Every structure is written in structure tokens, then in C-alpha cells.
Amino acid sequence: MSAKAEYKVMSGDEVVILAGEHRERTAKVVRFVNDGDRVELEVDGLEDDDKVIKHQRRSQEFPNGTRLFLNPTVHVSNVMKKDRWDKKRSDQAN
């Protein structure tokens, strides 16, 4: 396996967020968004109040409208596989 393939983030991988509001938290990749530029993350211990809120206008499905609580999306360059993160941390400690 090449080095690039070893560190490529895939759906279902455990990752560490490198930048943004949820920096240095672990998360699970749910899916890729917008042709692979962003990833939707399921962050450990994230409350509904901390999720992204999208207001849905009235429709037949939601007659009064609603608020949707969505998982955050992060650019793929701002996440790193957890095993690589742990290896990097242990190398710096030595």
C-alpha cells in the first residue's frame, strides 16, 4: 500500500479535526459532500445545540416549517486519520 493510500480519508474512518470550532476532537466520517471537497462528521459528544442549524421553510412534509440539526461539515484538508494522529503525537513525545 502506498503512503498516499494509507493516509487517505474514507467514509467510516475515525479522524481528528485539525482546525475550526471542533479542533482536536475525534469524529467519524459519515459521507463526502460536494464532490469530495468536504466531509460530514459525526463528532463524539456533540449536543444538538452545537450542531449546524438549518431552518426548513413550510412544505407538505413540514406544514409549520422546522429546524434541522445537521452534523458539521469540514474541508477534507482539516481532518487527519486518528491512527496517523496518534503516531505523530508519539513521535513528537520521544
The secondary structure of 46-91 as a DSSP string is --GGGSEEEEEPP-SSSTT-EEEEE--EEEGGGEEEHHHHHHHHHH
Distances in whole angstroms, Cα of residue 24 to Cα of each of 10, 43, 44, 58, 76: 19, 11, 11, 37, 15
DSSP-derived 3-state class of residue 1 = coil
Average confidence score pLDDT of the chain: 87
Domains of the chain are 3-93 (2.30.30.30)
Mean pLDDT of 74-80: 91
DSSP-derived 3-state class of residue 21 = coil
Check residue 1 and give its pLDDT: 55
What is the rounded CA–CA span in Å between residue 12 and residue 82? 12
* Higher per-residue confidence, 9 vs 5: 9
Check residue 45 and give its pLDDT: 85
pTM, to two decimals? 0.77
Lowest-pLDDT range, 9-13, 33-37, 55-59, 60-64? 33-37
Task: For residue 26, name the pLDDT band (cuts at 50, 70, 90).
Answer: very high
Is the Cβ–Cβ distance between 71 and 40 less than 8 Å?
A: yes
Task: For residue 4, name the pLDDT band (cuts at 50, 70, 90).
Answer: low
